[in-house]
Structure 1
Amino acid sequence: MKSILSLCFTVVLLSSMTLPAVNTAKAAEQKSVELAENARSAILIERDTGAILYEKNSDEKLPPASMTKIMTMLLIMEAIDKGELTLKEKIRTSEFAASMGGSQIFLEPGEEMTTEQMLQGIAIGSGNDASVAMAERIAGSEEGFIDMMNKKAKELGLKNTKFQNATGLPEADHYSTAHDMAIMGKELLKYNLITKFTGSYEAYLREDTEKKFWLVNTNRLVKFYPGVDGLKTGFTNEAKYCLTATAKKGDMRVIAVVFGASTPKERNAQVTKMLDYAFSQYMTHPIYKRGVSLQKVKVSKGSSKTVTAVTSEPISVLTKKGGNVKDLTQKISIKKNLVAPIKHGDKIGTFSIVKDGKVLVKSPIVAKETVDRASWWEMYKRAFGMFSSAD
């Protein structure tokens, strides 16, 4: 087991009043609040901390329908973040992708659209054809992409999720839960760019052609609930009406998930009730944004001798409305004896916020840049320099 080097320091947040911070466990007293009585399952979490504010049957395995595309979009955003894909790259549509039924943007075999346009088609129009076209671009085939989806689910610790396609079209043994969808949404929202797409109510594709295509967001709350800017709806006869929604007010962003509502109106009503509850009862105290540099860490056998340790996601503390926090201890634990190669985004440590001995927040620390393994010549020069200086 790798040893851990821990560095601790204390930050005092000045306040006139202190209320206990909410831990990442269940924050709401389930018996005293019912927010989704007409949904099969539901969950409400605060994005930065992952604190559960409400849940109902949140671990029940159910068909997620097109909410599946949250994972599809997550893998697309990861590829963009790693430099493996650009928004302007043109994606060619295969015959297989063009053959997808259900919601679609009516791609034709051989038609090309940019990644940006494909994302519009997925996020706004729920295009199954666009989803498969992007899956094929990233993994070579939808089958390969499905393997990536399930691998990512495992990496996120999602024990009740299994994907059989990139679209959410009905298929045996394709399932998820409200809890797992919320975690996928939390991960997707690390990429600020995504809400440019999921938060758009309408857009046009093929604008300068005779086949101009109008997209209208299937998530109507984007237009009718202030602060909602995502994420994805879903519907099949089996799944009924589903929605993973996110909204931000001030410093606080929450994620609400509903499975199995009987109508779109009922689905939106349940989500609205959860969002109202979150913003009226809780508040977020930001500590760090995503990508904040924490320290330089030594790397052995690398093309660079150090790597920058950064926050992997926004870090905040959650309290009840009107509460403040102070006397928080921030703990940075970095893996000892890091050895190249290290890739951008690799986990190299853990950031924790502790109050009175209780861990309130725990978040991965990642590498800001890639550090390749040093060549034998670089290693030789370093060794020679070390011996020379010893003389």
Structure 2
Amino acid sequence: MNDQTADLSSIDSFHVGRRRKPNFTDHEVLYIIDQYDNYKECLHSREASKSVIAQKQAIWKQITDNLNTNYPQVERTVEDVRRKWKKLQSEAKRESAAYRAAQLAGTSTSISNKQLNVYNRILNICRAPVTSTSHFPPNATLAAALQHQQLLQQHHQQIQQSNMNNNNNNNHHDMSFNEQSSDKVDSPSSDLGNGISVQLDSPGDESASLLGNEDNSPSPITNYQLTSNIQSYQPAHLSTVAISNNGQISKRTLDKRRKLLKSSVNQQVINNTSKSSYGQPQQQQQLQQQQQQNSLRYESLIKRKRTLELTSQRLVYDKERLLIERKNLDIKLATNECENERIAIEKRRTELALQKLQSDISLSTNGNHNLSDQEDHEDNNSLDDMSDINE
């Protein structure tokens, strides 16, 4: 019995179905986060056109291929990577909310600093604002986040005054400081690291906070931070465009406005940062990302063109096949007409033969009647002769 038990345990005799893949390692998780951070502008797009969807699919496939190339121990699929990223989003939101609640209650949590940094980074990526903030690198010497809305308003007034004076250097410094303060206000890292109990999102609004408040109206703090970032680089023809707090504007209108704001702000930022010394690497990085996006879009267009060519070729083949079938049907119709004529001729011959046979029968019956009458007359004559002899 012991030997049989050992034999059964040594083989996988009780395994049913497919074997589950191993979990993602820490290195794989960090690599997925880095790759998503590189393509977040395209992956955060809410446009439902076919080209954008194909571009997103190509980006996810590229991320998966790069992951399998760098970590070939376990082959991951695109669905595995996307499912893991969604789990990371929900886990980061849940753990950060639990950490804030523990900080408010004064209790300790089991989250390590490494996990906390990863969660903060995921939330920062998912809460990327409408404007492109990657052009302004974080400055470690800047002050911490402002703790009151009045300080933000005062700083906003200073930014407006500096823009009116057209001072480029002060304008650039104010924008970098405003960017740092907005990141501190929006991201939960400032709340978790400094112990500031600022509740930006409601506990149940997980999807809106992870996607950058695209489906719901933004909170007053995030709305103020967004308008303060945009106003210094906002052109004159877009001065009336703003995101409302009452949520009455449709989602499609908001997406169009975000696109206009994003394109205009990106153009202004490129023009203003090209003069600075540190703006060159960011500009090169942006150009590389645009080149990658253009290459992916070009590949998708080539695939679509190939699909259309194959479709047109298939239609040509179908047309030729239908023409051949039509010719075959014409031949069959001609054959049927000939057969009908032959049948009609045979029917006419049969009718003529029947008429001839009937006429022959009638003639034969008339000849038989004449012969019988003559025989009767001869019999009568012979009887008369016999009677005369007897007399």
- The question of a shared fold, defined as TM-score above 0.5 by the shorter chain, is answered with no
Higher helix share: 2
TM-score (norm 2): 0.22
Higher strand share: 1
Q: Which has the larger radius of gyration?
A: 2
